[in-house]
Chain A
Amino acid sequence: DVVMTQTPVSLPVSLGGQASISCRSSQSLVHSNGNTYLHWYLQKPGQSPQLLIYRVSNRFSGVPDRFSGSGSGTDFTLKISRVEPEDLGDYYCLQSTHFPLTFGSGTKLEIK
């Protein structure tokens, strides 16, 4: 199984500041079709997860451009600039290149 190592576990940030979350996979996430199926989700308190970024760097519908994704192969990053109160919650990466699908263990973004 592909192990997704997500860091940090907790990320205190100041409102208006920047946050960066890392996700590393135990093997390449490049699919045989050439796509890389690495996605980022935010789960706000008491809510279902919502898709932020799909296939490494594509913002999902309605996601503000403060959110950006980058990376390749086995090393991926989610950056949040100008953090706002509604950005707080748990962030997860997901790889869906290989079965079984596997998630990172999560990063809690909280106010410093």
Chain B
Amino acid sequence: EVQLVESGGGLVQPGRSLKLSCVASGFTFNNYWMTWIRQAPGKGLEWVASITNTGGSTYYPDSVKGRFTISRDNAKSTLYLQMNSLRSEDTATYYCTRGAHPAYWGQGTLVTVSS
């Protein structure tokens, strides 16, 4: 059974940093692209970042480019999202998903950016 378990969310002040993790199990992690998607409270879904299966290439929308970094440790079957210079508009539940075309989703971790 595919499982994706996110952690690392919490309350953080504007301008500070936070690093999310996602531990994957139930599939061969290094065979798949991975993707982060977020959802602001009461709002729709927004793509945040994707990474190839080797980690050799990464992709971001303009809204987070230069502030967020997606990475992975295939030996640990773990995906990361380093978020710097956080803004109030980054407040959201962050989902770890499997694939460049997301099929499986984790339960999400809530990030709240507020002073």
- Which residues of A line the B interface, CB within 8 A? 37, 39, 41, 48-51, 54-55, 60, 92, 94, 96, 99-106
Contacts and interface: CB of A to CB of B under 8 A. Distances in A.
B100 interface: yes
A19 B46 CA distance: 25
Nearest to A61: B103
Interface residues of B, number: 20
Contacts, number: 47
B112 interface: no
B50 A101 contact: yes
Interface in B26-51: 35, 44-47, 50
Contacts of A48: 95, 105-108
Contacts of B100: 96
A92 B44 contact: yes
Contacts of B103: 51, 54, 60
A7 to B, nearest CB: 14
A99 B52 CA distance: 14
A92 B45 contact: yes
Interface in B92-106: 95, 100-106
Given A51-B102, A54-B101, A94 B95 contact: no
A103 B44 contact: yes
A4 to B, nearest CB: 10
